[in-house]
Amino acid sequence: MTARLMLRPYRMDDFDALYDLRSRPDVMRYLYLGVHDRDQVRESLQAKIQAAVLKDEGGCLTPAVVLRETGTLIGDVMLRWISREHQQGEIGYVVHPDHAGKGYATEAAEVMLRLGFEELGLHRIIGCIDARNTASGRVLERLGMRREAHLMQNEFVKGEWTDETVYALLQDEWRSRAEPLTET
């Protein structure tokens, strides 16, 4: 775990906080999914609760990101196990705008990188973002990920063609870092 945050499985009593996050257009702007209504949030919460353990390729672990001091749920972070054969994973994160710009996304994503590289033995972890989401790009760069690709108008999302930027980090690069970004 991290100094300022806890990552924990989602619970049913997280509904209001998750709804507050997923019903906001500013939060959902660069995500594949649109703004969620209450029923969609309920379904999403059920899926997050069911996927509390990352068992095999194709799986996705999405714990809640909670402020350690107050217990406030401020977002979530994701590790998807893309391929066992190629030892590939993908990270992602969402932080409530009231808590943005404080390094929480970096802190939470670092935990997921550690899980992917040190516990699952992944060789490579990527982060794929809408190219307009420069704040998210800065998070990936702070994590030591390098920008590998800028794909022009490669996806049709929410009625428009969007560019995607792909960042990546190799296990050897993870191991060679001088020190972690956060205290553990």
Q: Which of 83, 39, 46 is nearest to 62 (CA)?
A: 46
What's the start-to-end Cα distance of the chain, in Å? 6
Tokens 């993870």, residue located: 174
- Is 54 in contact with 64 (CB distance < 8 Å)? no
At 96-138, the pLDDT tens digits run 999 999 999 999 999 999 999 999 999 999 999 999 999 999 9
- Which helix (H) or strand (E) covers residue 81, if one does? strand 73-83
- Is 65 in contact with 77 (CB distance < 8 Å)? yes
Extract the tokens encoding 96.
């409530």
Q: Is 50 helix (H, G, I), strand (E, B) or coil?
A: helix
pTM of the model: 0.92
Q: Please say if the pLDDT value at position 148 is more than 90.
A: yes
